[in-house]
Amino acid sequence: MIDVTIENYNLVQKALKDQPKKINMVLSRAINRAATNAKANMSKKVREEYVVPASEVKKTIVITRATTSSPTAIVKSMGKKISLAKFKISPTQPRPANPPAAYKVQIKKNGGLKPVERGFLANVNGNIGFFQRVGSSRMPITRLMGPSVPQMIGNKSVIERVENEAKKMLNTRIQHELEQVLGAK
């Protein structure tokens, strides 16, 4: 969980003491901009650590925007584990006639390609995925999954960088919104 607090709240109150109704307006605008920035940074920072498409990250992130009556925004990621086939794989297509000695997958950028133990690549109902046999017989098989996007975002280095960027953006936007309101007097 990312918790970003407003360091300059007293400054906002002092600057707008003559216009108390505008305090929450300034805060909600700044918070919404910081939340949008946090969403973009989550996607960017996750992709710096993990070999995952941006679309897989962005579709899991939802923003609940701040309002003047409730100047709080929530940026959360919800999602299931991602198929290993969505990460970097080698080879990229199933080859039943001439299968490789081992299929390989790379999840983290600094991890390199690693063999998928007892796994095979197959096209099931138009979806390519990594599978593994459950027993010694041909069927049943299970799909092999990697981490979920919320797990990737929860990585300590990712969350710290996102939080730091959100704090910077929030304080910058508060200054900007104050200038807009005070300049419009």
- pTM of the model as a whole: 0.82
Q: What is the DSSP letter of 81?
A: E
Determine the 3-state secondary structure of 159 from DSSP. helix
- What's the pLDDT at 50? 96
- What's the pLDDT at 169? 93
Q: How confident is the model at residue 47 (pLDDT cuts 50, 70, 90)?
A: very high
Residue 147 corresponds to which tokens in the numbers above? 């981490």
Among the residue ranges 22-31, 61-70, 130-139, the one predicted with the least confidence is: 130-139
- What's the pLDDT at 92? 82
**Backbone phi, psi, residue 123, to 5°:** -105, 105
- What's the pLDDT at 146? 93
Whether the predicted pLDDT of 6 surpasses 70: no
Beta bridge partners of 83: 145
Q: How confident is the model at residue 137 (pLDDT cuts 50, 70, 90)?
A: confident
Burial of 166 (0-12, 13-18, 19+ CB in 10 A): buried
Residue type at position 98: N
Whether the predicted pLDDT of 82 surpasses 80: yes
